[in-house]
Amino acid sequence: MQERIVRYTNIACSIIILFFLLISVSIYYFPNLVSKFFILNQIKINGLEKSNINIIKEKIFNNSSDLLSLDLKKIKEILEQEQWIKRVNGKKVYPSTLILDIIENDPYAILRDKDKYYLVDIDGTVITEKNKDYELENFILISGDKSPLALKGLIKDLNIHFSEIIPQLSELNFIERRRWNITLKNNLLIKLPDSKIDKALKNLKSLFVNEKVLQSNIIEIDLRIEGRASLKVDEGKINYGINDI
């Protein structure tokens, strides 16, 4: 009985191996014949909101019309060059379906570069150019040479050390490619240092929490010198007493 089971098992394994061998030989020597059984006729796309689905499908079909020869790596590279697309993951479902999971860029800020305006992702990716009247009030306005490259680091520091200030941000100006000036929605200007931003933000948070800065007549806080905060008021004396500054 045991010998019969072993014999049948060997026969089944041989048939499976032969089957895959025949498929491999067919693919190698007769690719056009085999590809007819794997015609790409369905593309399912998840996560698409802002990108043009027709353009995406056209780019895929221009690359290959059959699923078997479709190069997922190449499709990923092609689609990630589209303005709104950040990342693409693809999966083949034989015989005829391609599934794409797409992550699109999420507009976080508006970059002002001379007379031009661009939507920018939180990681600094420049998405697309927009008219200067494009809903500017809904986005943080950033400016300064190389500011998109430094944006992610600043937002990360703010999230870690003073996340409460983020909803108050209005403008971010990257000064001389080395430090940031922050303007809040109430027009309060905050000058951050070149380095040790974490300490500066902790001190800033302390001012906001303990000294009620937003309720005072302070219009500028200069934190460029480590351990100090220079304050400028609108007129007269500070409305709220701030000690040891």
Tens digits of pLDDT across the chain (245 residues) = 666 666 667 677 777 777 556 555 555 555 555 556 678 889 999 999 989 999 999 999 998 888 888 899 999 999 999 989 999 999 999 888 999 999 999 888 999 888 888 999 988 888 988 876 666 667 899 999 999 999 999 999 999 999 999 999 999 999 999 999 999 999 999 999 999 999 999 999 988 888 777 777 889 999 999 888 888 887 765 554 444 34
Same domain? For 141 and 224 the reply is yes
Structure tokens at 64: 């290959």
Note whether 42 and 97 are within 8 A (CB).
yes
DSSP 221: E
Q: What is the model's pLDDT at position 53? A: 92
Q: What is the model's pLDDT at position 20? A: 56
Same domain? For 31 and 56 the reply is no
Note whether 92 and 67 are within 8 A (CB).
yes
Integer Cα distance of 99 and 44 in angstroms: 5
Last residue of a domain, one of 47, 71, 104: 104
Q: What is the model's pLDDT at position 5? A: 67
Residue 241 domain flag: no
Integer Cα distance of 156 and 158 in angstroms: 5
Note whether 53 and 61 are within 8 A (CB).
no
Same domain? For 217 and 121 the reply is yes
Longest Cα–Cα distance of the chain, Å, equals: 103
Residue 225 domain flag: yes
66 forms bridges with which residues in the sheet? 39
- Output the domain CATH number for residue 207: 3.40.50.11690
Residue 120 domain flag: yes
Residue 143 domain flag: yes
Same domain? For 44 and 92 the reply is yes
Same domain? For 158 and 225 the reply is yes
Last residue of a domain, one of 104, 123, 143: 104
Question: Among 46, 92, 45, 40, which Cα is nearest to 63's?
Answer: 40
Q: Is 91 helix (H, G, I), strand (E, B) or coil?
A: strand
Same domain? For 122 and 154 the reply is yes
Residue 240 domain flag: no
Same domain? For 82 and 182 the reply is no
Structure tokens at 29: 């020597």
- Output the domain CATH number for residue 56: 3.10.20.310
Residue-number span of the structural domain to which 186 is assigned = 107-233
Residue 205 domain flag: yes
Question: Among 204, 194, 210, which Cα is nearest to 231's?
Answer: 204
Q: Is the pTM of this model over 0.85?
A: no
Same domain? For 146 and 211 the reply is yes
Same domain? For 57 and 73 the reply is yes
Q: What is the model's pLDDT at position 228? A: 85
Same domain? For 66 and 13 the reply is no
Note whether 147 and 162 are within 8 A (CB).
no
Same domain? For 30 and 100 the reply is no
Same domain? For 205 and 222 the reply is yes
- AA letter at 24: S
Q: What are phi and psi of 235, to 5 degrees?
A: -165, 150
Residue 93 domain flag: yes
Residue 243 domain flag: no
**Cβ count near 204 (within 10 Å):** 22
Q: Is 176 helix (H, G, I), strand (E, B) or coil?
A: coil
Q: What is the pLDDT of residues 147-166, one digit of tens each?
A: 999 999 999 999 999 999 99
Distances (CA, A) of 221 to 118, 182, 192, 238: 29, 10, 9, 12
End-to-end CA, the chain:
92
For the chain, the domain total comes to: 3
